[in-house]
A and B are shown apart, each in its own frame.
Chain A
Amino acid sequence: MKVADLIGLLDATLQTPALSTDREVSCGYTCDLLSWVMAHGEEGMAWVTVQTHMNVIAVAVLADMACVILPENIDMDIDSIGKAADEGLCVLKSPLTAFEICGRMTSAGIPASPQ
């Protein structure tokens, strides 16, 4: 499944509209402790978090993730969105809760770790 497919699956909007959504998603994850995510992040991961500050982008980029997903229509601050766009990291915003997002991703066949 690609990032573009996730947007449809999660009723999401792309917060980084200039970026391609053609990247393949390898797995899904949700956690708001950044140091925990650093230990468990994977290449191609779709990461659901309520955190919106600049360090989220740094963690996602360093782990080479496919995208960050903000649940419950949470807005990411403009500087973080700008940084994500500069780094080529897609940021999605969904009206669903983190629980619902993970449920839909699991039902759609996205695994918890890369296969």
Chain B
Amino acid sequence: MSAFIHTVYPVASGDYTRAGEASADIKRKLKQLGVASMVLRRVAVASYEVELNLVIHSMGGELILEVDEKGISLTSQDVGPGIPDISMAMKEGYSTANEEARSLGFGAGMGLPNMKRNADGFEIDSELGKGTRISMRFNLV
């Protein structure tokens, strides 16, 4: 099935001033499509969490939005450093965020669990030194 929206958002490492711009645009696009507010909110929360993860933890990456007749896909792909222990990273309260992130109020260790909670489908793959890929799916029907 072909996607009728396919948008790629580059996300820079450590750029807290622009953090959230991709998520805001995603929310705007989906609102224009008439996506129901409950779904819209779940996508907005998950996209912000994954966008912040790229800013805080990655060496840079991109967020990809795809929409087709059945649902919304959000994919995050970065270029490293990768997650040493995914099962630990998935636990609420576990965080490896640095001091700068924590001083801004991030790094509560809620990001990945919150993405999983809000998405209908959630997959994460990571390889040390290569990068992390997170795929989320939100059903429309």
Q: How far is the CB of B61 from chain A (nearest CB, A)?
A: 18
Residues of B within 8 A of A14 (CB): none
Residue of A nearest to B47 (CB): A62
Interface size class of A (residues with CB under 8 A): 20 to 34
Residues of B within 8 A of A37 (CB): 105
Q: How far is the CB of B127 from chain A (nearest CB, A)?
A: 25
Residues of A within 8 A of B59 (CB): none
Residues of A within 8 A of B107 (CB): 35
Residues of A within 8 A of B17 (CB): 54
Residues of B within 8 A of A55 (CB): 16, 19-20, 104-106
Contact A33 B108 (CB under 8 A): yes
Residue of B nearest to A51 (CB): B105
Contact B104 A62 (CB under 8 A): no
B132 within 8 A of A: no
What is the CA–CA distance of A24 and B18 in the complex, to the nearest angstrom? 29
Cβ 8 A contact of A35, one of B16, B20, B41, B52: B52
A residues neighboring B (CB under 8 Å): 32-39, 41, 43, 49, 51, 53-56, 58-59, 61-64, 87
